[in-house]
Chains A and B, each alone.
Chain A
């Protein structure tokens, strides 16, 4: 049993490392002609985005904590959504906990299959977002398989920026739309 736990732990580390390498937002080298003012503006914008992202993550962690009942059980482990950072398919620490609960629920109900649906916010363009949504669904699927769920029980589909949960052109709406949904069938 211990060796299995070790194996899962090693697997988790590997997938996290792969996510960080393969899915993280990449920095594009800037034009050498950028003025100091422009560089400063871009750096300030990057800091602002990072702060917004940190705020969003804290909100989601708080929301998740509220959703945990007094007994610490997840209300609906199978269908609880996970969320992603902008232009990323990396599984966040909050999402890891949700996927762990989901894997436990799936193991307890071996007849259940899940469709993992990947979604994006509206800021990208539709076709690129369709591919990004697929990567998000696939990241969630791969994480669940590393937690011991059979890949045969999991299918993925991307809806890209179609079917947003929240309308509005602000970070709060966009953060809700960068998600993976889980549909038991």
Chain B
């Protein structure tokens, strides 16, 4: 049953006009947010035990918003409790004195069997303005993460104007024994579940633009094949390739798949189309290695890694004209490109004397910035639908795991994808 949620936003219009945090601006500052302890929606209402679980999950999500500082209760003289979950009745002064920018209250009404109704409200402390609120009528252990994600998604949208991160989905390859299967999870790794059982090695997942299918590279007993998993039916199909090679598939915004295959002895990036995903036209071929195609949301710009001028570098092709431009010049080994949805930023992995690191290249100004700092190998960046977060794989702890950083290079936070090596993150596009 779908989660019933009501949004109440007396100050919604004001909030929309007054976006206070520019997450793409220079000198990003942190705003202080305090999540006050849960209490009854009305004085007589009981607070279910579940409320502490929601608090914990919201706190965990707040770690993934580096533009916010999740204030500890000890910062507030007199404690973080509020007498009532809604204004008037909240004394904002003690929060203002502690430099709190935003106050979140959670008002509960226990219903039955440990579940309850919860109202989450966000106030701007200095003005006392109500920014927005959400009511969930059936909060229970099975949907508590979803509630935390929905609330944080709205919080990010109201504060920054960017929406969808906490409701987005990641696909990745997770090691199981000698093989790998494709898994999907929430953006912080929550709710990770395996979606393929294809056997062999399954890697390099790529979401279709509508989020209904995942293409991946399969290596089995009979060699390479293109795998396509449909999330609606749960069905996985494998499409063998004539040339014996299939590397790094990527769903095209207009349909079909781009991947490195071999056609008549020529290896390169081809468009695969039709019900059996047969190669239809070359997109990037050369005497060197051409791999890892990726596209911006419009499908007009394709980035890829190519060894056509020596060591691998990142190139971008204008799909309409076919014109290819080299993007990276620093470093001898630049691979794994990922374009932001608007095509303005390119993330890639650069090999240095200290290992691979993630860089972000501004496609307009040409400026570059290092956003990951190891140790070990940081590889395979993937932009989230907002273009603010970047997931990547790293073996900094000895085993490859997934991490999250931002275009500003904020401290990398590990994603909780469960046990087992996790690699090749790919973010589902926003719908």
State whether these chains interact: yes
Which A residues contact B (CB, under 8 angstroms)?
22, 25-28, 31, 45, 87, 122-128, 130-132, 134-135, 155-159, 162-163
Q: Quick check: B201 and A162 within 8 Å, CB to CB?
A: yes
A-B contact pairs, 23 of them (CB 8 A): A25-B311, A27-B310, A31-B330, A123-B351, A123-B377, A124-B351, A125-B305, A126-B203, A127-B248, A127-B291, A127-B335, A128-B307, A128-B312, A130-B217, A130-B260, A131-B245, A131-B267, A131-B290, A134-B247, A157-B223, A157-B224, A162-B201, A163-B178
Q: Does B423 contact A (CB under 8 A)?
A: yes
Q: Which one of A25, A131, A156, A159 has the highest number of Cβ atoms from chain B below 10 Å of its Cβ?
A: A131
Inside 8 A of B330's CB, which chain A residues have their CB?
A: 31
Which B residues contact A (CB, under 8 angstroms)?
178, 180, 201, 203-204, 217, 219, 223-224, 244-245, 247-248, 260, 262, 267, 287, 289-292, 305, 307, 309-313, 329-330, 332-333, 335-336, 349, 351, 353, 356, 377, 379-380, 423-424
Inside 8 A of B332's CB, which chain A residues have their CB?
A: 28
What residue in chain B is nearest A159 (Cβ atoms)?
B219
Inside 8 A of B329's CB, which chain A residues have their CB?
A: 31
Q: Quick check: B204 and A127 within 8 Å, CB to CB?
A: yes
In the bound assembly, the distance between CA atoms of A26 and B431 in angstroms comes to 43
Give the interface SS of chain B, mostly helix, strand, loop or mixed: strand
Q: Quick check: B291 and A122 within 8 Å, CB to CB?
A: no
What residue in chain A is nearest B260 (Cβ atoms)?
A131
Distance (Å) between the CB of A170 and the closest chain B CB? 13
Q: Quick check: A130 and B291 within 8 Å, CB to CB?
A: yes
Inside 8 A of A163's CB, which chain B residues have their CB?
A: 178
Q: Which one of A22, A123, A126, A135 has the highest number of Cβ atoms from chain B below 10 Å of its Cβ?
A: A126
Inside 8 A of B244's CB, which chain A residues have their CB?
A: 134, 155-157
Q: Which one of A45, A128, A158 has the highest number of Cβ atoms from chain B below 10 Å of its Cβ?
A: A128
Q: A31-B329, A126-B203, A126-B204 are in contact. Are A131 and B380 (CB under 8 A)?
A: no
Partner of B353, one of A22, A45, A128, A158: A45
Inside 8 A of B312's CB, which chain A residues have their CB?
A: 128
In the bound assembly, the distance between CA atoms of A134 and B356 in angstroms comes to 22
In the bound assembly, the distance between CA atoms of A132 and B290 in angstroms comes to 10
Q: Quick check: B201 and A128 within 8 Å, CB to CB?
A: no
In the bound assembly, the distance between CA atoms of A128 and B311 in angstroms comes to 11
Inside 8 A of A127's CB, which chain B residues have their CB?
A: 204, 247-248, 260, 291-292, 305, 335-336
Inside 8 A of A128's CB, which chain B residues have their CB?
A: 289, 291-292, 305, 307, 312, 335-336
Inside 8 A of B217's CB, which chain A residues have their CB?
A: 130
Q: Quick check: A131 and B224 within 8 Å, CB to CB?
A: no
Q: Quick check: A131 and B291 within 8 Å, CB to CB?
A: yes
Inside 8 A of B380's CB, which chain A residues have their CB?
A: 125-126
Inside 8 A of B313's CB, which chain A residues have their CB?
A: 28
Inside 8 A of B423's CB, which chain A residues have their CB?
A: 126
Q: Quick check: B267 and A126 within 8 Å, CB to CB?
A: no
Q: Quick check: B311 and A87 within 8 Å, CB to CB?
A: yes
Q: A131-B289, A155-B223, A158-B224 are in contact. Are A28 and B267 (CB under 8 A)?
A: no
Q: Quick check: A162 and B219 within 8 Å, CB to CB?
A: yes
Distance (Å) between the CB of A34 and the closest chain B CB? 10
Q: Quick check: B335 and A124 within 8 Å, CB to CB?
A: yes
Distance (Å) between the CB of B68 and the closest chain A CB? 33
Inside 8 A of A156's CB, which chain B residues have their CB?
A: 244
Inside 8 A of A131's CB, which chain B residues have their CB?
A: 245, 247, 260, 267, 289-291
Extra inter-chain contacts (7) besides given A28-B311, A128-B305, A157-B219, CB under 8 Å? A26-B310, A123-B351, A124-B335, A127-B247, A128-B307, A131-B247, A162-B219
Distance (Å) between the CB of A26 and the closest chain B CB? 3
What residue in chain B is nearest A158 (Cβ atoms)?
B245
Inside 8 A of B201's CB, which chain A residues have their CB?
A: 159, 162
What residue in chain A is nearest B348 (Cβ atoms)?
A125
Q: Quick check: B356 and A125 within 8 Å, CB to CB?
A: yes
Q: A126-B203, A126-B423 are in contact. Are A132 and B289 (CB under 8 A)?
A: yes
Distance (Å) between the CB of A31 and the closest chain B CB? 7
In the bound assembly, the distance between CA atoms of A26 and B309 in angstroms comes to 8
In the bound assembly, the distance between CA atoms of A130 and B223 in angstroms comes to 12
In the bound assembly, the distance between CA atoms of A78 and B309 in angstroms comes to 36
Q: Quick check: A22 and B287 within 8 Å, CB to CB?
A: yes
Distance (Å) between the CB of A82 and the closest chain B CB? 19
Distance (Å) between the CB of B366 and the closest chain A CB? 14
